[in-house]
């Protein structure tokens, strides 16, 4: 049985690497497709994942996103028609679900961002099985077209999958001239994302850095403009090439990020994290704050004060974080379980029946409107 996995963002490469490994161990053939975006193909190369690259990200404008996505659906459809996969897998993806639905390929999707409404509306109605962290209100998913019978909640976060089978490699520290637990990792705002509604001109991290202890900061900009802004800080280093970010996070004293994924990856590795995201917080972020493993603020003084405290009491914070994170469910196990269900003909027929029912309901709704 052939499983098609479409990876459209760098964190998704880490998310699916464990799934790919487990599926291949069980005898499944895996086809990976991707696109050009934010060094994604370089990450896949680093992880030794074979792939076919189709299309690219459309940039920050609505027009660019629409044209790039439309072109990618066309090109990717031609490839998938030729490859004939039996199951489709994806995460927070607007293109693969449409292709899978159109070709009657059962699909399994994962979502952890309920605020990305435009993207979700392009994904949920076409997804056969939708896996999500239970802390997300299912009503938020239903509003975007999810089939209530397709939902499967898990007691965990996506980034548990990102660190699946992780073993630290200190070579990255040698490359950057760093020592264990002697530096901070930072990631600025996702200004190109369709869900981002914060300040695109100035990052809050610019005001936080001068208030922090005098120690190295490894920063990962998302754009060339962000790179130019942060290069001016003497203690900030910006890696030129794709590196092992998981090891870097594992040995960091602290992670401070205005995004989401790297913050949660840090926590999954037992490293303290502070969120400075300026927009609406995700349900998973609120949950982690309630569990006492994550701190959030957009006030530079508050962030710096908390950072000093975490650095002083680092071992205490790490112990608590690891205890909490160890109790969470791993998405890799859930996804592989769902794929295995589809490997039996009876389950495949049930998914095809669900597809048929969903398709007929959409046709009936369309006729009623006419």
Helices (H), the chain: 10-25, 40-46, 62-83, 96-102, 117-123, 138-142, 159-162, 171-176, 205-208, 224-230, 245-250, 261-268, 283-290, 300-312, 314-325, 331-342, 345-369
CATH homologous superfamily of 2-156+331-358:
Glycogen Phosphorylase B; (3.40.50.2000)
User: What pLDDT does 191 receive?
Assistant: 63
For residue 110, which of 58, 74, 146, 56 has the smallest C-alpha distance? Answer: 146
Instruction: Catalogue the E-assigned strands of 2-123.
Output: 2-7, 29-36, 52-56, 87-91, 107-110
For residue 197, which of 279, 118, 117, 257 has the smallest C-alpha distance? Answer: 279
The pair phi, psi for residue 151, each rounded to 5°, is: -80, 140
Two tokens at 57?
A: 């990200």
Task: Point out the residues of the chain with pLDDT beneath 50.
Answer: 345-346, 349, 357, 359, 362-370
CATH homologous superfamily of 170-327:
Glycogen Phosphorylase B; (3.40.50.2000)
Q: How far apart are CA 34 and CA 24, in angstroms?
A: 19
Q: How far apart are CA 245 and CA 262, in angstroms?
A: 9
Q: How far apart are CA 74 and CA 66, in angstroms?
A: 12
* Domain ranges in the chain with CATH number 3.40.50.2000: 2-156+331-358, 170-327
Residues in Cβ contact with 26 at an 8 Å cutoff, skipping those fewer than 6 apart? 336, 340
CB-CB contact of 131 with 335 (8 Å): yes
Angle 18-19-25 from CA coordinates, rounded to 5°? 90
User: What pLDDT does 356 receive?
Assistant: 52
Among all chains, which residue has been given the structure tokens 């794709």? Answer: 242
């Amino acid at each position: 049985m052939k499983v098609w996995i479409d990876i459209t963002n760098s964190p998704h490469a880490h998310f699916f690497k464990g799934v790919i490994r487990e599926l291949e161990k069980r005898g499944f053939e895996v086809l990976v497709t991707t696109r050009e975006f934010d060094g994604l193909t370089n990450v896949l190369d680093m992880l030794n994942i074979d792939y076919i690259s189709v299309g690219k990200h459309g940039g920050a404008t609505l027009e660019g996103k629409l044209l790039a996505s439309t072109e990618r659906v066309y090109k990717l459809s031609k490839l998938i028609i030729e490859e004939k996969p039996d199951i489709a897998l994806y995460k927070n993806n607007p293109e693969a679900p449409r292709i899978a639905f159109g070709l009657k390929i059962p699909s399994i999707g994962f979502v952890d961002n309920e605020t990305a409404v435009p993207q979700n509306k392009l994904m949920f109605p076409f997804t056969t099985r939708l896996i999500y962290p239970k802390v997300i209100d299912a009503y938020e998913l239903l509003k975007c077209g999810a089939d209530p019978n397709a939902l499967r909640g898990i007691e965990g976060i996506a980034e548990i999958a990102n660190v699946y089978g992780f073993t630290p490699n200190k070579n990255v520290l040698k490359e950057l001239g760093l020592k264990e637990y002697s530096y901070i990792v930072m990631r600025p705002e996702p200004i190109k994302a369709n869900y981002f509604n914060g300040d695109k001109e100035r990052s809050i991290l610019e005001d936080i850095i001068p208030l922090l202890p005098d120690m190295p900061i490894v920063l990962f900009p998302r754009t060339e403009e962000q790179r130019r802004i942060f290069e001016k800080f003497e203690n900030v280093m910006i890696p030129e090439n794709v590196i092992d970010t998981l090891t870097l996070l594992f040995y960091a004293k602290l992670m401070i990020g205005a995004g989401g994924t790297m913050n949660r990856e840090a926590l999954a590795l037992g490293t303290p994290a502070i969120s400075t995201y300026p927009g609406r917080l995700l349900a998973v972020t609120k949950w982690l704050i309630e569990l006492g493993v994550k701190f959030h603020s957009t006030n530079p003084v508050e962030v710096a004060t908390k950072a000093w405290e975490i650095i002083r009491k680092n071992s205490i914070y790490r112990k608590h974080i690891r205890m909490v994170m160890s109790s969470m469910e791993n998405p890799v196990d859930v996804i592989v379980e769902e794929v295995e269900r589809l490997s039996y003909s009876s389950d495949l027929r049930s998914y095809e029946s669900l597809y048929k029912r969903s398709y007929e309901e959409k046709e009936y709704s369309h006729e009623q409107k006419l």
